[in-house]
Structures are given as structure tokens and as C-alpha cells.
């Protein structure tokens, strides 16, 4: 997926509304490392990428903690080809008819 594809992917949106994803807001907050355990095997070189997203973060000035800032960085990173970025995989799963993988 190219940078342009990232912003022009309306054709991938489902034509029918999806049911809301419920219950996640009742889950306790955990560290970023714990939160990504189920997806780390889906992403090439994930441990290194996770380390890089946190490496240069100090106390963020936006009120987020380091894990929250790193999660945003991790989601928005563009992977090098031929690997698929985390946002592409997550968005595809969110658009799927059956979203049990979430």
C-alpha cells in the first residue's frame, strides 16, 4: 500500500453498516507491549518497530503517556514494501464482515 492508497481507499469501505464493536471500553488499560501481543506475529520485525516507536519518546506535552503516544506512532507508521503496515491490517479487519479477529 502506498502513501496515496492510504488516503484514497474509500472503495474498500463496506457498503452495509457494521455492528458496533462493544465491550472494549470496559477492558482495563494495559501496557502497549501487552496490548499488541496478539498482533505482533502478523507484523514483520514487530519487536524492533515497537522499540523504535518508543525510543525517542520522553514525557509527551500533549497529555498522553509514552505508551499512548507510541501506539499512535505505531498505528500511523508506513512499513517498507513488501510488508503491510499495521494500520492496513487493522483497517481491513475492521471493515470485514466477520470481525472476530479483533
Cβ–Cβ < 8 Å for 18, 93: no
> CA 66, 59, 40: angle at the middle one, nearest 5?
15
- Closest to 86 (Cα-Cα) out of 52, 63, 57: 52
> Does residue 45 carry a pLDDT above 90?
no
What pLDDT is attached to residue 87? 80
Q: What is the pLDDT of residues 77-98, one digit of tens each?
A: 887 766 778 887 787 777 776 6
> Does residue 76 carry a pLDDT above 60?
yes
What cell numbers appear for 51 in the block?
A: 522499540
Q: What is the mean pLDDT of the chain?
A: 78
Domain coordinates in residue numbering, the chain: 3-95
User: Mean per-residue pLDDT for 56-85?
Assistant: 82
User: Mean per-residue pLDDT for 50-75?
Assistant: 86
Amino acid at each position: 500500500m502506498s502513501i496515496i492508497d492510504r488516503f484514497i481507499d474509500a472503495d474498500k469501505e463496506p457498503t452495509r453498516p457494521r455492528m458496533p464493536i462493544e465491550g472494549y471500553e470496559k477492558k482495563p488499560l494495559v501496557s502497549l507491549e501487552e496490548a499488541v501481543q496478539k498482533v505482533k506475529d502478523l507484523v514483520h520485525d514487530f519487536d524492533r518497530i515497537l522499540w523504535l516507536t518508543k525510543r525517542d519518546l520522553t514525557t509527551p506535552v500533549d497529555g498522553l503517556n509514552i505508551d499512548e503516544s507510541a501506539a499512535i506512532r505505531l498505528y500511523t507508521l508506513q512499513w517498507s514494501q513488501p510488508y503491510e503496515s499495521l494500520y492496513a491490517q487493522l483497517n481491513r479487519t475492521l471493515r470485514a464482515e466477520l470481525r472476530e479477529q479483533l
